[in-house]
Amino acid sequence: MSFFAVFLSSLLSLVVSFVFLPRTLRYAGQLVGQHLRHSSQKRRELLLARVAAEQRTYDAERRGKKDKEDEDWEEVEASTVGSAVNGGKADSDWSGIVGFFHPFCNAGGGGERVLWAAIRATQKRWPEAICVVYTGDHDVDKEQILKRVKERFNIHLHPPTVHFLYLTTRHYVLSSTWPRFTLLGQSVGSIILAYDAFKLLVPDIFVDTMGFAFALALSSAFFPNVPTGAYVHYPTISTDMLDSLYEGGQGVNAGSGEGYRGMAKRQYWQLFAKLYCKVGSTIDVVMANSTWTQTHIKSLWSPYRKLRNKTTDHDIDIVFPPVAVEDLESAIDVSEESEKIRGPYILYVAQFRPEKNHQLILNAFASFVASNPSLPAFPDEKPKLVLIGSVRDSDDATRVYNLRLLAHELNIKDQVEFVCDATWPQMLEWMGKSSVGVNGMWNEHFGIGVVEYQAAGLISVVNNSGGPKLDIVVEVDGKKTGFHADTADEYAEGFLKALSLSPWETLDMRKRARRSASRFTDRGFADKWLENMGKLVALQVERAKVQE
Protein backbone atom coordinates (compact mmCIF):
# COMPACT_ATOMS: atom_id res chain seq x y z
CA MET A 1 0.00 0.00 0.00
CA SER A 2 1.29 3.44 -0.79
CA PHE A 3 1.60 6.08 1.86
CA PHE A 4 -1.27 8.09 0.51
CA ALA A 5 -3.66 5.22 0.11
CA VAL A 6 -3.06 4.17 3.68
CA PHE A 7 -3.24 7.69 4.91
CA LEU A 8 -6.38 8.67 3.10
CA SER A 9 -8.26 5.54 3.98
CA SER A 10 -7.30 5.88 7.61
CA LEU A 11 -8.24 9.54 7.78
CA LEU A 12 -11.53 8.80 6.17
CA SER A 13 -12.23 5.86 8.38
CA LEU A 14 -11.48 7.94 11.43
CA VAL A 15 -13.71 10.83 10.49
CA VAL A 16 -16.56 8.67 9.36
CA SER A 17 -16.34 6.31 12.27
CA PHE A 18 -16.90 9.23 14.58
CA VAL A 19 -20.06 10.12 12.79
CA PHE A 20 -21.63 6.75 12.09
CA LEU A 21 -19.59 4.21 13.97
CA PRO A 22 -20.28 1.36 11.59
CA ARG A 23 -18.48 -1.77 12.48
CA THR A 24 -16.90 -2.22 9.07
CA LEU A 25 -15.16 1.14 9.14
CA ARG A 26 -13.95 0.64 12.64
CA TYR A 27 -12.58 -2.63 11.41
CA ALA A 28 -10.84 -0.82 8.56
CA GLY A 29 -9.14 1.48 11.06
CA GLN A 30 -7.89 -1.51 12.97
CA LEU A 31 -6.60 -3.11 9.80
CA VAL A 32 -4.52 -0.02 9.11
CA GLY A 33 -3.36 -0.23 12.71
CA GLN A 34 -2.25 -3.81 12.24
CA HIS A 35 -0.41 -2.88 9.10
CA LEU A 36 1.42 -0.08 10.93
CA ARG A 37 2.25 -2.32 13.83
CA HIS A 38 3.62 -4.93 11.50
CA SER A 39 5.70 -2.55 9.42
CA SER A 40 7.28 -0.88 12.45
CA GLN A 41 8.05 -4.16 14.21
CA LYS A 42 11.65 -4.17 13.04
CA ARG A 43 12.28 -0.73 14.47
CA ARG A 44 10.77 -1.80 17.73
CA GLU A 45 13.18 -4.69 18.01
CA LEU A 46 16.09 -2.43 17.15
CA LEU A 47 15.00 0.00 19.83
CA LEU A 48 14.81 -2.70 22.47
CA ALA A 49 18.26 -3.93 21.51
CA ARG A 50 19.64 -0.42 21.68
CA VAL A 51 18.16 0.23 25.10
CA ALA A 52 19.69 -3.00 26.40
CA ALA A 53 23.09 -2.07 24.95
CA GLU A 54 23.00 1.45 26.35
CA GLN A 55 21.98 0.13 29.73
CA ARG A 56 24.97 -2.24 29.76
CA THR A 57 27.37 0.55 28.85
CA TYR A 58 25.81 2.78 31.48
CA ASP A 59 26.16 0.13 34.16
CA ALA A 60 29.76 -0.56 33.18
CA GLU A 61 30.70 3.12 33.33
CA ARG A 62 28.90 3.46 36.59
CA ARG A 63 30.88 0.66 38.14
CA GLY A 64 34.02 2.55 37.19
CA LYS A 65 33.16 5.96 38.55
CA LYS A 66 30.41 6.96 40.90
CA ASP A 67 29.69 10.58 40.28
CA LYS A 68 27.19 12.93 41.86
CA GLU A 69 24.64 12.49 39.14
CA ASP A 70 24.33 8.76 39.70
CA GLU A 71 23.86 9.25 43.38
CA ASP A 72 21.02 11.65 42.67
CA TRP A 73 19.49 9.07 40.42
CA GLU A 74 19.65 6.33 43.03
CA GLU A 75 18.42 8.54 45.81
CA VAL A 76 15.25 9.58 44.07
CA GLU A 77 14.77 6.13 42.66
CA ALA A 78 14.69 4.66 46.13
CA SER A 79 12.22 7.22 47.36
CA THR A 80 9.80 7.15 44.45
CA VAL A 81 9.61 3.49 43.54
CA GLY A 82 6.63 1.97 45.24
CA SER A 83 5.20 5.27 46.39
CA ALA A 84 2.49 5.37 43.76
CA VAL A 85 -1.03 4.65 44.87
CA ASN A 86 -1.63 2.02 42.28
CA GLY A 87 -0.05 -1.18 43.41
CA GLY A 88 3.20 -0.42 45.21
CA LYS A 89 6.22 -2.31 43.98
CA ALA A 90 4.20 -5.10 42.49
CA ASP A 91 4.05 -3.78 38.94
CA SER A 92 7.30 -1.82 38.97
CA ASP A 93 8.61 -4.39 36.48
CA TRP A 94 6.21 -3.27 33.77
CA SER A 95 8.35 -3.01 30.66
CA GLY A 96 6.32 -1.47 27.86
CA ILE A 97 7.01 1.50 25.62
CA VAL A 98 5.38 4.81 26.50
CA GLY A 99 5.11 7.16 23.53
CA PHE A 100 5.05 10.87 24.36
CA PHE A 101 3.67 13.00 21.55
CA HIS A 102 5.50 16.31 21.89
CA PRO A 103 6.63 17.65 18.50
CA PHE A 104 8.30 20.72 20.03
CA CYS A 105 10.17 18.99 22.83
CA ASN A 106 13.25 21.21 22.75
CA ALA A 107 11.36 24.49 23.29
CA GLY A 108 12.28 24.93 26.95
CA GLY A 109 8.97 26.38 28.21
CA GLY A 110 6.55 25.41 30.96
CA GLY A 111 4.95 22.72 28.81
CA GLU A 112 8.34 21.09 28.31
CA ARG A 113 9.05 21.16 32.01
CA VAL A 114 5.92 19.06 32.45
CA LEU A 115 7.08 16.62 29.76
CA TRP A 116 10.51 16.06 31.29
CA ALA A 117 9.26 15.88 34.85
CA ALA A 118 6.69 13.31 33.68
CA ILE A 119 9.33 11.23 31.93
CA ARG A 120 11.63 11.34 34.92
CA ALA A 121 8.85 10.20 37.26
CA THR A 122 7.86 7.42 34.85
CA GLN A 123 11.45 6.22 34.49
CA LYS A 124 11.87 5.98 38.21
CA ARG A 125 8.60 4.25 38.89
CA TRP A 126 8.98 1.72 36.07
CA PRO A 127 12.73 1.33 35.50
CA GLU A 128 12.16 -1.30 32.81
CA ALA A 129 9.81 0.89 30.77
CA ILE A 130 11.05 2.81 27.75
CA CYS A 131 10.00 6.42 27.16
CA VAL A 132 9.94 7.51 23.56
CA VAL A 133 9.43 11.13 22.57
CA TYR A 134 8.05 11.88 19.11
CA THR A 135 9.62 15.18 18.17
CA GLY A 136 10.15 17.37 15.14
CA ASP A 137 13.38 18.96 16.38
CA HIS A 138 15.69 17.57 13.74
CA ASP A 139 18.54 19.90 14.57
CA VAL A 140 19.30 18.34 17.95
CA ASP A 141 20.32 14.83 18.92
CA LYS A 142 19.57 12.93 22.09
CA GLU A 143 22.71 14.02 23.90
CA GLN A 144 22.03 17.69 23.20
CA ILE A 145 18.41 17.45 24.28
CA LEU A 146 19.27 15.71 27.55
CA LYS A 147 22.01 18.26 28.23
CA ARG A 148 19.59 21.11 27.74
CA VAL A 149 17.00 19.48 29.99
CA LYS A 150 19.64 19.26 32.68
CA GLU A 151 20.76 22.85 32.30
CA ARG A 152 17.40 24.46 31.76
CA PHE A 153 15.28 22.53 34.24
CA ASN A 154 17.78 20.74 36.45
CA ILE A 155 16.06 17.48 35.52
CA HIS A 156 18.36 14.47 35.16
CA LEU A 157 16.91 11.84 32.87
CA HIS A 158 18.21 8.30 32.79
CA PRO A 159 19.72 8.16 29.28
CA PRO A 160 19.37 4.45 28.42
CA THR A 161 15.57 4.35 28.69
CA VAL A 162 14.62 7.59 26.94
CA HIS A 163 14.69 7.81 23.15
CA PHE A 164 13.70 10.21 20.42
CA LEU A 165 11.92 9.52 17.17
CA TYR A 166 11.97 12.25 14.57
CA LEU A 167 8.81 13.33 12.75
CA THR A 168 9.08 14.80 9.26
CA THR A 169 5.66 16.43 8.99
CA ARG A 170 5.71 18.90 11.86
CA HIS A 171 4.89 21.88 9.63
CA TYR A 172 1.31 20.59 9.40
CA VAL A 173 0.60 21.64 12.95
CA LEU A 174 1.99 25.19 12.63
CA SER A 175 -0.71 27.82 12.61
CA SER A 176 1.09 29.50 9.69
CA THR A 177 0.33 26.44 7.52
CA TRP A 178 -3.39 27.06 7.99
CA PRO A 179 -4.12 30.77 7.58
CA ARG A 180 -7.83 29.94 7.36
CA PHE A 181 -9.74 27.44 9.47
CA THR A 182 -6.74 27.27 11.75
CA LEU A 183 -8.36 25.17 14.45
CA LEU A 184 -9.54 22.51 12.05
CA GLY A 185 -6.36 22.71 9.99
CA GLN A 186 -4.09 22.19 12.94
CA SER A 187 -6.19 19.30 14.11
CA VAL A 188 -5.99 17.60 10.73
CA GLY A 189 -2.28 18.42 10.87
CA SER A 190 -1.97 16.64 14.20
CA ILE A 191 -3.64 13.57 12.68
CA ILE A 192 -1.08 13.56 9.86
CA LEU A 193 1.68 13.98 12.40
CA ALA A 194 0.36 11.15 14.55
CA TYR A 195 0.23 8.90 11.49
CA ASP A 196 3.84 9.83 10.87
CA ALA A 197 4.60 8.85 14.48
CA PHE A 198 2.90 5.44 14.26
CA LYS A 199 4.80 4.67 11.07
CA LEU A 200 7.96 5.03 13.14
CA LEU A 201 6.80 3.04 16.13
CA VAL A 202 3.56 1.88 17.72
CA PRO A 203 3.85 2.43 21.48
CA ASP A 204 2.16 0.40 24.23
CA ILE A 205 0.79 3.55 25.86
CA PHE A 206 0.32 6.81 23.98
CA VAL A 207 0.44 10.13 25.82
CA ASP A 208 -0.07 13.64 24.45
CA THR A 209 1.36 16.52 26.44
CA MET A 210 0.80 19.31 23.91
CA GLY A 211 -2.96 19.39 23.47
CA PHE A 212 -3.23 17.37 20.25
CA ALA A 213 -6.35 15.45 21.21
CA PHE A 214 -7.00 14.38 17.61
CA ALA A 215 -3.74 12.45 17.61
CA LEU A 216 -5.01 10.42 20.54
CA ALA A 217 -8.28 9.72 18.74
CA LEU A 218 -6.34 8.38 15.75
CA SER A 219 -4.43 6.12 18.11
CA SER A 220 -7.59 4.63 19.56
CA ALA A 221 -9.09 4.18 16.09
CA PHE A 222 -6.02 2.26 14.91
CA PHE A 223 -5.02 0.54 18.13
CA PRO A 224 -7.96 0.05 20.49
CA ASN A 225 -5.68 -1.86 22.86
CA VAL A 226 -3.26 1.02 23.37
CA PRO A 227 -4.43 3.16 26.30
CA THR A 228 -4.22 6.90 25.71
CA GLY A 229 -3.56 9.76 28.11
CA ALA A 230 -3.78 13.53 27.71
CA TYR A 231 -2.22 16.27 29.78
CA VAL A 232 -4.22 19.38 28.91
CA HIS A 233 -2.76 22.84 29.50
CA TYR A 234 -5.49 24.64 27.65
CA PRO A 235 -8.64 23.53 25.84
CA THR A 236 -8.31 23.86 22.04
CA ILE A 237 -11.71 25.49 21.95
CA SER A 238 -13.21 26.82 25.15
CA THR A 239 -16.75 27.46 26.24
CA ASP A 240 -15.73 31.12 26.67
CA MET A 241 -14.93 31.26 22.96
CA LEU A 242 -18.29 29.81 21.99
CA ASP A 243 -20.18 32.12 24.33
CA SER A 244 -18.28 35.15 23.05
CA LEU A 245 -19.86 34.74 19.62
CA TYR A 246 -23.26 35.51 20.99
CA GLU A 247 -24.54 38.94 21.71
CA GLY A 248 -23.27 40.46 24.92
CA GLY A 249 -20.22 38.23 24.90
CA GLN A 250 -16.78 39.52 25.83
CA GLY A 251 -13.32 39.24 24.33
CA VAL A 252 -11.80 39.49 20.86
CA ASN A 253 -14.69 37.83 19.10
CA ALA A 254 -17.37 39.79 20.88
CA GLY A 255 -20.43 40.27 18.74
CA SER A 256 -18.80 38.71 15.65
CA GLY A 257 -21.55 36.10 15.74
CA GLU A 258 -23.95 38.46 14.05
CA GLY A 259 -24.83 38.61 10.37
CA TYR A 260 -24.23 36.08 7.63
CA ARG A 261 -20.50 35.67 8.15
CA GLY A 262 -21.03 35.48 11.84
CA MET A 263 -23.50 32.71 11.44
CA ALA A 264 -21.10 30.73 9.30
CA LYS A 265 -18.38 31.23 11.86
CA ARG A 266 -20.65 30.10 14.63
CA GLN A 267 -21.57 26.98 12.72
CA TYR A 268 -17.93 26.24 12.06
CA TRP A 269 -16.98 26.65 15.72
CA GLN A 270 -19.88 24.58 16.89
CA LEU A 271 -19.03 21.82 14.47
CA PHE A 272 -15.44 21.93 15.61
CA ALA A 273 -16.47 21.94 19.25
CA LYS A 274 -18.59 18.88 18.63
CA LEU A 275 -15.73 17.04 16.94
CA TYR A 276 -13.42 18.06 19.78
CA CYS A 277 -15.90 16.71 22.31
CA LYS A 278 -16.18 13.38 20.52
CA VAL A 279 -12.44 13.14 20.31
CA GLY A 280 -12.21 13.85 24.04
CA SER A 281 -14.47 10.90 24.76
CA THR A 282 -11.96 8.45 23.26
CA ILE A 283 -9.18 9.31 25.71
CA ASP A 284 -8.71 6.93 28.61
CA VAL A 285 -7.00 9.16 31.15
CA VAL A 286 -7.24 12.95 31.15
CA MET A 287 -5.26 15.34 33.32
CA ALA A 288 -5.74 19.12 33.47
CA ASN A 289 -3.11 21.61 34.67
CA SER A 290 -5.46 23.71 36.82
CA THR A 291 -9.00 24.05 38.07
CA TRP A 292 -9.75 26.54 35.31
CA THR A 293 -8.69 24.08 32.60
CA GLN A 294 -10.44 21.19 34.32
CA THR A 295 -13.73 23.11 34.47
CA HIS A 296 -13.60 23.94 30.78
CA ILE A 297 -12.54 20.48 29.66
CA LYS A 298 -15.19 18.89 31.84
CA SER A 299 -17.98 20.99 30.43
CA LEU A 300 -16.95 19.97 26.90
CA TRP A 301 -15.91 16.36 27.30
CA SER A 302 -17.73 14.89 30.24
CA PRO A 303 -21.15 14.44 28.64
CA TYR A 304 -19.56 12.46 25.80
CA ARG A 305 -17.22 10.61 28.10
CA LYS A 306 -20.18 9.47 30.17
CA LEU A 307 -21.80 7.99 27.07
CA ARG A 308 -18.67 6.00 26.44
CA ASN A 309 -18.27 4.95 30.05
CA LYS A 310 -14.95 6.76 30.28
CA THR A 311 -15.81 8.45 33.53
CA THR A 312 -16.42 5.44 35.73
CA ASP A 313 -13.05 5.44 37.41
CA HIS A 314 -11.01 7.66 35.15
CA ASP A 315 -12.43 11.10 35.58
CA ILE A 316 -10.59 14.26 34.65
CA ASP A 317 -7.95 14.85 37.30
CA ILE A 318 -5.99 18.00 38.14
CA VAL A 319 -2.23 17.56 38.03
CA PHE A 320 -0.56 20.87 38.81
CA PRO A 321 2.62 21.51 36.85
CA PRO A 322 5.79 21.71 38.89
CA VAL A 323 6.93 25.16 40.05
CA ALA A 324 10.41 25.63 41.53
CA VAL A 325 9.31 26.08 45.14
CA GLU A 326 12.05 23.93 46.63
CA ASP A 327 14.58 26.75 46.22
CA LEU A 328 12.51 29.06 48.40
CA GLU A 329 11.85 26.39 50.97
CA SER A 330 15.52 25.71 51.44
CA ALA A 331 16.52 29.39 51.49
CA ILE A 332 13.83 30.68 53.85
CA ASP A 333 13.16 29.48 57.35
CA VAL A 334 9.64 29.23 58.81
CA SER A 335 10.03 28.75 62.56
CA GLU A 336 9.71 30.54 65.89
CA GLU A 337 13.26 31.73 65.41
CA SER A 338 12.54 33.29 62.01
CA GLU A 339 9.44 35.09 63.32
CA LYS A 340 11.84 37.49 65.05
CA ILE A 341 13.21 38.59 61.69
CA ARG A 342 9.83 39.28 60.11
CA GLY A 343 8.37 42.77 60.27
CA PRO A 344 4.89 44.14 59.45
CA TYR A 345 5.82 44.21 55.78
CA ILE A 346 3.41 43.58 52.95
CA LEU A 347 5.13 42.33 49.83
CA TYR A 348 3.82 42.63 46.29
CA VAL A 349 5.98 40.93 43.66
CA ALA A 350 4.62 41.73 40.17
CA GLN A 351 5.70 43.39 36.98
CA PHE A 352 4.60 47.00 36.78
CA ARG A 353 1.79 46.32 34.34
CA PRO A 354 -1.74 47.80 34.46
CA GLU A 355 -3.59 44.53 35.08
CA LYS A 356 -1.54 43.96 38.22
CA ASN A 357 -3.56 46.74 39.81
CA HIS A 358 -0.84 48.39 41.90
CA GLN A 359 -2.99 51.48 42.35
CA LEU A 360 -5.69 49.56 44.11
CA ILE A 361 -3.13 47.99 46.42
CA LEU A 362 -1.72 51.44 47.25
CA ASN A 363 -5.22 52.72 48.02
CA ALA A 364 -5.97 49.70 50.16
CA PHE A 365 -2.71 50.14 52.04
CA ALA A 366 -3.45 53.84 52.58
CA SER A 367 -6.83 53.09 54.12
CA PHE A 368 -5.25 50.38 56.25
CA VAL A 369 -2.67 52.87 57.55
CA ALA A 370 -5.31 55.59 58.04
CA SER A 371 -7.35 53.27 60.24
CA ASN A 372 -4.46 53.46 62.71
CA PRO A 373 -4.29 49.73 63.29
CA SER A 374 -2.88 48.46 66.55
CA LEU A 375 -0.60 45.53 65.85
CA PRO A 376 0.46 43.96 69.15
CA ALA A 377 2.89 41.66 67.39
CA PHE A 378 4.86 44.64 66.06
CA PRO A 379 4.89 47.30 68.81
CA ASP A 380 7.80 49.40 67.53
CA GLU A 381 7.43 49.17 63.80
CA LYS A 382 5.25 50.87 61.24
CA PRO A 383 3.70 48.71 58.52
CA LYS A 384 5.38 48.93 55.16
CA LEU A 385 4.31 48.08 51.62
CA VAL A 386 7.13 46.74 49.44
CA LEU A 387 6.59 46.68 45.67
CA ILE A 388 9.09 44.50 43.81
CA GLY A 389 8.98 44.35 40.04
CA SER A 390 11.00 44.50 36.88
CA VAL A 391 11.07 47.65 34.80
CA ARG A 392 11.45 46.52 31.21
CA ASP A 393 10.86 49.72 29.26
CA SER A 394 9.92 53.38 29.53
CA ASP A 395 6.22 52.54 29.89
CA ASP A 396 7.00 50.58 33.02
CA ALA A 397 9.20 53.41 34.27
CA THR A 398 6.36 55.89 33.76
CA ARG A 399 4.01 53.68 35.68
CA VAL A 400 6.45 53.44 38.58
CA TYR A 401 6.76 57.23 38.55
CA ASN A 402 2.99 57.63 38.69
CA LEU A 403 2.72 55.11 41.48
CA ARG A 404 5.30 57.06 43.48
CA LEU A 405 3.23 60.21 42.97
CA LEU A 406 0.15 58.38 44.15
CA ALA A 407 1.92 57.17 47.28
CA HIS A 408 2.92 60.78 47.92
CA GLU A 409 -0.66 62.01 47.50
CA LEU A 410 -1.98 59.31 49.77
CA ASN A 411 0.51 60.36 52.45
CA ILE A 412 2.12 56.96 52.67
CA LYS A 413 5.35 57.82 50.88
CA ASP A 414 7.50 56.89 53.87
CA GLN A 415 5.85 53.53 54.24
CA VAL A 416 6.06 52.42 50.62
CA GLU A 417 9.26 51.04 49.18
CA PHE A 418 9.84 50.40 45.47
CA VAL A 419 12.44 47.78 44.59
CA CYS A 420 12.94 47.81 40.83
CA ASP A 421 14.71 44.94 39.07
CA ALA A 422 15.51 43.13 42.29
CA THR A 423 18.16 40.43 42.19
CA TRP A 424 17.30 36.95 43.40
CA PRO A 425 19.15 37.42 46.74
CA GLN A 426 17.28 40.71 47.30
CA MET A 427 14.01 38.91 46.58
CA LEU A 428 14.88 36.18 49.03
CA GLU A 429 15.74 38.75 51.68
CA TRP A 430 12.36 40.47 51.38
CA MET A 431 10.51 37.17 51.25
CA GLY A 432 12.26 36.17 54.47
CA LYS A 433 11.55 39.34 56.41
CA SER A 434 8.02 40.17 55.25
CA SER A 435 4.81 38.85 56.77
CA VAL A 436 2.21 39.19 54.06
CA GLY A 437 2.16 38.65 50.30
CA VAL A 438 -0.44 40.43 48.18
CA ASN A 439 -1.74 39.97 44.64
CA GLY A 440 -4.09 42.52 43.08
CA MET A 441 -4.81 40.96 39.71
CA TRP A 442 -8.31 39.94 38.77
CA ASN A 443 -8.98 36.48 37.31
CA GLU A 444 -5.39 35.35 36.94
CA HIS A 445 -5.44 31.79 35.50
CA PHE A 446 -2.80 30.66 37.87
CA GLY A 447 -0.30 32.82 39.81
CA ILE A 448 3.20 31.45 40.26
CA GLY A 449 4.08 34.48 42.40
CA VAL A 450 1.43 33.52 44.94
CA VAL A 451 2.81 29.98 45.13
CA GLU A 452 6.18 31.57 45.87
CA TYR A 453 4.68 33.63 48.71
CA GLN A 454 3.33 30.44 50.22
CA ALA A 455 6.60 28.60 49.83
CA ALA A 456 8.28 31.48 51.69
CA GLY A 457 5.69 31.24 54.48
CA LEU A 458 3.96 34.55 53.71
CA ILE A 459 0.27 34.96 54.47
CA SER A 460 -1.45 35.80 51.19
CA VAL A 461 -4.08 38.44 50.54
CA VAL A 462 -5.35 37.89 46.98
CA ASN A 463 -8.24 38.78 44.73
CA ASN A 464 -11.25 36.58 45.18
CA SER A 465 -10.99 35.11 41.68
CA GLY A 466 -9.05 32.86 39.31
CA GLY A 467 -6.25 30.50 40.21
CA PRO A 468 -5.20 32.27 43.43
CA LYS A 469 -8.68 31.66 44.80
CA LEU A 470 -9.43 28.23 43.31
CA ASP A 471 -6.07 26.55 43.37
CA ILE A 472 -3.54 28.30 45.54
CA VAL A 473 -4.87 30.16 48.59
CA VAL A 474 -7.11 27.30 49.67
CA GLU A 475 -7.65 25.69 53.04
CA VAL A 476 -5.22 23.14 54.41
CA ASP A 477 -6.59 20.83 57.12
CA GLY A 478 -9.77 22.87 57.04
CA LYS A 479 -7.94 26.07 57.98
CA LYS A 480 -7.07 29.20 56.05
CA THR A 481 -3.74 29.86 54.36
CA GLY A 482 -4.59 33.49 53.55
CA PHE A 483 -7.39 35.91 52.75
CA HIS A 484 -9.48 36.72 49.67
CA ALA A 485 -10.60 40.27 48.83
CA ASP A 486 -12.80 41.94 46.22
CA THR A 487 -12.44 45.66 46.90
CA ALA A 488 -9.84 48.06 48.29
CA ASP A 489 -11.61 47.99 51.66
CA GLU A 490 -11.55 44.23 51.76
CA TYR A 491 -7.85 44.25 50.94
CA ALA A 492 -7.28 46.68 53.85
CA GLU A 493 -9.26 44.38 56.09
CA GLY A 494 -7.20 41.44 54.88
CA PHE A 495 -3.97 43.25 55.78
CA LEU A 496 -5.33 43.93 59.26
CA LYS A 497 -6.42 40.33 59.78
CA ALA A 498 -3.14 38.96 58.53
CA LEU A 499 -1.01 41.25 60.69
CA SER A 500 -3.01 40.97 63.90
CA LEU A 501 -3.05 37.20 64.30
CA SER A 502 -1.58 35.92 67.54
CA PRO A 503 2.03 34.69 67.33
CA TRP A 504 1.12 31.03 67.31
CA GLU A 505 -1.73 31.53 64.83
CA THR A 506 0.68 33.37 62.57
CA LEU A 507 3.27 30.64 62.65
CA ASP A 508 0.61 27.99 62.12
CA MET A 509 -0.74 29.76 59.09
CA ARG A 510 2.74 30.18 57.63
CA LYS A 511 3.35 26.48 58.02
CA ARG A 512 0.05 25.65 56.39
CA ALA A 513 0.86 28.00 53.52
CA ARG A 514 4.13 26.21 53.00
CA ARG A 515 2.35 22.85 53.00
CA SER A 516 -0.08 24.25 50.46
CA ALA A 517 2.83 25.18 48.19
CA SER A 518 4.17 21.65 48.35
CA ARG A 519 1.41 20.62 45.95
CA PHE A 520 3.31 22.51 43.30
CA THR A 521 6.72 20.92 43.84
CA ASP A 522 8.38 18.43 41.53
CA ARG A 523 7.53 15.81 44.11
CA GLY A 524 3.85 16.78 44.23
CA PHE A 525 3.68 16.64 40.45
CA ALA A 526 5.42 13.25 40.30
CA ASP A 527 3.01 11.70 42.80
CA LYS A 528 -0.07 12.85 40.91
CA TRP A 529 1.42 11.96 37.55
CA LEU A 530 2.26 8.43 38.67
CA GLU A 531 -1.22 7.96 40.04
CA ASN A 532 -2.62 8.65 36.57
CA MET A 533 0.14 6.84 34.72
CA GLY A 534 -0.61 3.86 36.96
CA LYS A 535 -4.14 3.77 35.57
CA LEU A 536 -2.73 3.65 32.04
CA VAL A 537 -0.32 0.85 32.91
CA ALA A 538 -3.11 -1.14 34.55
CA LEU A 539 -5.28 -0.68 31.45
CA GLN A 540 -2.45 -1.78 29.20
CA VAL A 541 -1.87 -4.94 31.21
CA GLU A 542 -5.59 -5.69 31.32
CA ARG A 543 -6.12 -5.21 27.59
CA ALA A 544 -3.06 -7.23 26.68
CA LYS A 545 -4.47 -10.12 28.73
CA VAL A 546 -7.84 -9.94 27.00
CA GLN A 547 -6.12 -10.05 23.65
CA GLU A 548 -4.24 -13.26 24.44
- List interacting residues with ligand NAG (CB under 6 A): 233-234, 289-290, 293, 308-309, 320-321, 357, 360, 440, 442, 445-446, 463-465, 486
Residue 485 DSSP SS3: strand
Minimum Å gap between C-beta 234 and ligand NAG is: 4
Report the nearest approach of ligand NAG to the CB of residue 472 (Å).
9
Q: Measured from the CB of residue 351, what is the shortest distance to ligand NAG in angstroms?
A: 15
CB of 276 to ligand NAG, least distance (A): 17
Q: Which is nearer to ligand NAG, 136 or 321 (CB)?
A: 321
The smaller minimum CB distance to ligand NAG, of residues 186 and 290, is found at: 290
Minimum CB separation from ligand NAG for residue 195, in Å?
26
* Nearer Cβ to ligand NAG (40/228): 228
Which residues lie closer than 8 Å to 22 by C-beta, 6 or more apart?
A: 16
Closer residue to ligand NAG, CB minimum distance, 30 or 464: 464
User: Among candidates 234, 216, 287, 297, which has minimal Cα distance to 14?
Assistant: 216
CB 520 within 8 A of CB 446: no
- Partners of residue 460 on adjacent β-strands: 437, 482
Pick the closer one to ligand NAG by CB: 44 or 305: 305
The half-sphere exposure of 87 on its side-chain side, counting CA atoms within 13 A, is: 18
Q: Cβ closer to ligand NAG: 115 or 129?
A: 115
Name the minimum Å distance from CB 62 to ligand NAG: 36
Give the other-Cβ count within 10 Å of 461's Cβ: 31
Secondary structure percentages of the chain, helix, strand, coil, to 5: 55, 10, 30
Question: With respect to ligand NAG, which residue has the nearer C-beta, 17 or 463?
Answer: 463
Q: Which is nearer to ligand NAG, 195 or 212 (CB)?
A: 212
What does the alpha-carbon distance between residue 332 and residue 433 come to, in Å, rounded to a whole number? 9
Smallest gap from residue 440 Cβ to ligand NAG (A): 6
Neighbours of 178 (CB within 10 A): 17
Q: Which is nearer to ligand NAG, 101 or 195 (CB)?
A: 101
Nearest approach in angstroms of CB 308 to ligand NAG is 5
Nearest Cα to Cα of residue 126 among 199, 204, 32, 216: 204
Minimal distance in Å, beta carbon 359 to ligand NAG?
9
User: By the 8 A CB rule, do 156 and 73 touch?
Assistant: yes
Inter-residue long-range contacts of 407-410, CB under 8 Å, 24+ positions, other chains counted: 407/362, 410/362, 410/363, 410/366
In angstroms, give the least distance from the CB of 360 to ligand NAG.
Answer: 5
76 Cβ partners below 8 Å, 6+ apart?
A: 124
- What CA–CA distance (Å, rounded) separates 479 from 520? 19
Q: What DSSP line would sit under 153-192, residue for residue?
A: H-----GGGEEEEE-S-GGGGSGGG-SSSHHHHHHHHHHH
- If the CB atoms of residues 315 and 505 are measured against ligand NAG, the closer one turns out to be 315
The answer to whether residues 457 and 369 touch, using CB atoms and an 8 Å cutoff, is: no
Q: To 10 degrees, the CA torsion angle through 457, 493, 447, 473?
A: 60
Query: What φ, ψ does residue 198 adopt, rounded to 5°?
Result: -70, -25
Per-residue DSSP letter, 351:
-
Q: Which CB sits closer to ligand NAG, 103 or 160?
A: 103
Q: Smallest distance from the beta carbon of 307 to ligand NAG, in angstroms?
A: 7
